[in-house]
């Protein structure tokens, strides 16, 4: 701890204390979008973590005696039940777990790969830069969802593959954004100073460049999370994402589709949950961008 404190503190190394949490929240509160998005995401995250405490039903517990109950018809099942008598609230809560876990993993893998690619590509340049950017071009020259469908259908749907497929979507955005910023950063005097001081390329990238691109990484991650939740849901809707009996908002909508004439809540409720989560992540990204880095205005697509 004392050795740690002697070092110059950067944003990432500041010790985490309750007062820094309070400061962070007050800072977020300066943007209405960030407040809204942060609150929504925190609520969904907590609901996902504490799902077993919030509902007394398992997500796959069937009870045909209470099949197809509409919302509010029974206090025991406030959001109703599906055609198998499974509690919708439980399935939406556990669906939040799956959606968040898969999308967060995809985002982490994408950011790790993309940030590394962007930093190395920009700082080292040369053949590595050419190859990586060419790869990004190839990928951007084709509709991603069709590629994702092909990967999931042909290699067989599984959660690890789903994470990889999502990461394939995201790494390009990180790599291109980070590369662009680092290309201009590396002309700055502090990099020249580090080189003169004898710092190795690895040290310059990790200690001098990486801290300077943390803000765009955070903003981008928020938007990527939103996009990945949408992609996961779309693939699950097509039957190529999360597989039953594990609930996913996308597959719940797909299962409710057959009952659209009789049981409106089966499609409506999971879709609303998905929209709220995506909206929350997008708004958080908008707010963080305004707070951290207004230059990134085109980042969201």
Partner 1 sequence: MVAFLIRRLLQAVPALLGVTLVVFLLLHASGDPSSFMLPPEASESDRQAFRHAYGLDQPLHTQYGLFLWKAVQGDLGRSIAYGAPAADVLLKRVPATLELALASTALALLLGIPSGILAAFRQNSPFDYLVMLGATLGQSIAGFWLGLMLIMVVSVQLGLLPASGRGTLAQLVLPAITLSTWLMALMARMTRSAMLEVLRRDYIRTAYAKGLQTRVVLARHALKNALIPIITLLGVSFSYQMGGAVIVETVFSWPGVGTLVFDSVLRRDYPVVLATVLFVGLVFVLINLLVDLCYSVIDPRIRLERSAAR
Pair of tokens at residue 290: 């305004």
C-beta of 298: minimal distance to partner 1 in Å? 8
Radius of gyration, CA atoms only, the chain? 22
Query: Smaller CB distance to partner 1: residue 31 or 282?
Result: 282
Query: Smaller CB distance to partner 1: residue 58 or 275?
Result: 275
Distance CA 46, CA 109 (A): 23
C-beta of 233: minimal distance to partner 1 in Å? 5
Residues forming beta bridges with residue 62, ordered by sequence position? none
Residue count of the chain: 301
Query: Smaller CB distance to partner 1: residue 115 or 226?
Result: 226
C-beta of 213: minimal distance to partner 1 in Å? 23
C-beta of 141: minimal distance to partner 1 in Å? 4
Distance CA 184, CA 214 (A): 15
Distance CA 252, CA 205 (A): 44
Burial of 196 (0-12, 13-18, 19+ CB in 10 A): exposed
Question: What residue spans of 76-158 are helical by DSSP H?
Answer: 88-124, 126-140, 144-155
C-beta of 294: minimal distance to partner 1 in Å? 11
Query: Smaller CB distance to partner 1: residue 57 or 237?
Result: 237
Query: Smaller CB distance to partner 1: residue 216 or 256?
Result: 256
- Reduced to 3 states (helix: H, G, I; strand: E, B; else coil), residue 87 is strand
Query: What residues line the site for partner 1 (CB under 8 A)?
Result: 134-135, 137-138, 140-147, 149-151, 153-156, 226, 230, 233-234, 237-238, 250, 253-254, 257, 260-261, 264, 267-268, 271, 274-275, 278-279, 282-283, 286, 297-298, 300-301
């Amino acid at each position: 701890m004392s050795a740690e404190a002697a070092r110059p503190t950067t944003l990432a190394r500041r010790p985490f204390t309750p007062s820094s949490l309070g400061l962070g929240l007050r800072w977020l509160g300066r943007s209405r979008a960030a407040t809204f998005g942060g609150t929504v995401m925190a609520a969904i995250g907590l609901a996902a973590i504490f799902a077993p405490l919030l509902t007394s039903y398992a997500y796959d517990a069937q009870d045909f005696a209470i099949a197809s109950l509409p919302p509010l018809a029974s206090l025991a099942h406030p959001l109703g039940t599906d055609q198998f008598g499974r509690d919708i609230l439980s399935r939406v809560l556990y669906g939040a777990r799956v959606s968040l876990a898969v999308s967060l993993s995809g985002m982490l893998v994408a950011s790790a790969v993309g940030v590394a690619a962007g930093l190395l590509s920009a700082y080292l340049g040369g053949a590595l830069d050419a190859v990586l950017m060419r790869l990004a071009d190839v990928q951007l020259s084709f509709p991603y969802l069709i590629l994702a469908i092909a990967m999931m259908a042909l290699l067989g749907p599984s959660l690890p593959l789903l994470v990889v497929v999502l990461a394939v979507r995201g790494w390009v955005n990180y790599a291109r954004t980070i590369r662009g910023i680092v290309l201009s950063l590396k002309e700055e005097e502090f990099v020249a100073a580090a080189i003169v001081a004898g710092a190795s390329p690895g040290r310059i990238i990790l200690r001098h460049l990486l801290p300077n691109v943390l803000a765009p990484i955070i903003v981008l991650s928020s938007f990527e999370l939103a996009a990945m939740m949408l992609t996961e849901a779309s693939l699950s809707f097509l039957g190529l994402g999360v597989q039953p009996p594990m609930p996913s908002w996308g597959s719940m909508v797909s299962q409710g589709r057959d009952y659209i004439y009789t049981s409106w809540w089966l499609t409506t409720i999971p879709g609303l949950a998905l929209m709220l989560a995506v909206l929350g992540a997008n708004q958080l990204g908008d707010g963080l961008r305004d707070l951290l880095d207004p230059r990134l205005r085109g980042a969201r697509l």
